[in-house]
Amino acid sequence: MPEPASYNEILEKYLPGRDFRVEFGDNNIERCLLVAPHGGGIEPGTSEILKAVAELGGWAWYEFAGFLRQGNKEALHIPSTKFDEPTLMGLLPRTNFITSFHGADGAGAPVVYVGGAWGLGREAMIASINGTSKKHGMHATDAVEHAAAANFRGVDKSNITNRGKLGEGVQLEFSREARNLLFPPNASREARGRRSKILRPLASAIQGAIAQLCPLANR
């Protein structure tokens, strides 16, 4: 099944509130917006990571989450360069920059690929995550510089990560192995309700990087 190319394609087959959910909070949205466009069962664990960071920092956030019994990714994954859900489209112009949360497959290790067009943002995020999470067996790497992460770079201008006022943002791609560490053993729906002790320090590291970047984005 080809992935949907627009929000309208999803509405042709699926029902909001039953098959998927759109939620957001716009507190402090002028500073930064956290986005999980493939939450719930689409890219499991991304909603929970986003909310852990949003709660720590009091950031604005947006979530598009799938709740089908199976096949969420195939049915509900709108590519980040084509994502056009109206609620998010209304939020993007209100914020300085976006930090987006995604799930990456095929890495083979607990890694966070840090992409997005904002080079300074990537640098700060990698340093903050690695300063905390390496001791837990997880590390961050630059998706733009990492040849194996070409699909996770997030540098296209049409990518939602780069559509705030600054024109560039930070994209976080958590490998399946990283999400399994955060929600052991397999980031399933049941496991995501338990969470591991690693989640809070990781969320604190991400929150710290965002706080550091906010003044630099206001230009």
Structure-model confidence comparison of residues 144 and 189, the more confident one: 144
Question: What pLDDT, in 10s, does the model give residues 17-46?
Answer: 999 999 999 999 999 999 999 999 999 999
Closest CA to 199 of 217, 187, 212: 187
pTM (2 decimals)? 0.95
β-pair partners for 60: 33
Confirm whether 1 is domain-assigned.
Answer: no
Residue 95 phi, psi dihedral angles, 5° rounding = -115, 155
Structurally, how many domains does the chain consist of? 1
What is the per-residue pLDDT for 188? 61
What is the per-residue pLDDT for 219? 64
Confirm whether 129 is domain-assigned.
Answer: yes
Average pLDDT for the chain:
91
Q: Residue 175 is inside which H or E element, if any?
A: strand 170-175
CATH number at residue 11: 3.40.630.100
Confirm whether 79 is domain-assigned.
Answer: yes
Whole-angstrom CA distances from 164 to 54, 56, 130 are 18, 22, 26
Report the pLDDT averaged over residues 147-166: 89
What is the per-residue pLDDT for 137? 83
Closest CA to 44 of 202, 145, 178: 178
Confirm whether 192 is domain-assigned.
Answer: yes
Percent of the chain with pLDDT over 70: 91
Confirm whether 2 is domain-assigned.
Answer: no
Q: How far apart are CA 148 and CA 152, in angstroms?
A: 9
The yes-or-no verdict on residue 92 having pLDDT over 90 is yes
Range of the domain at 37: 7-217
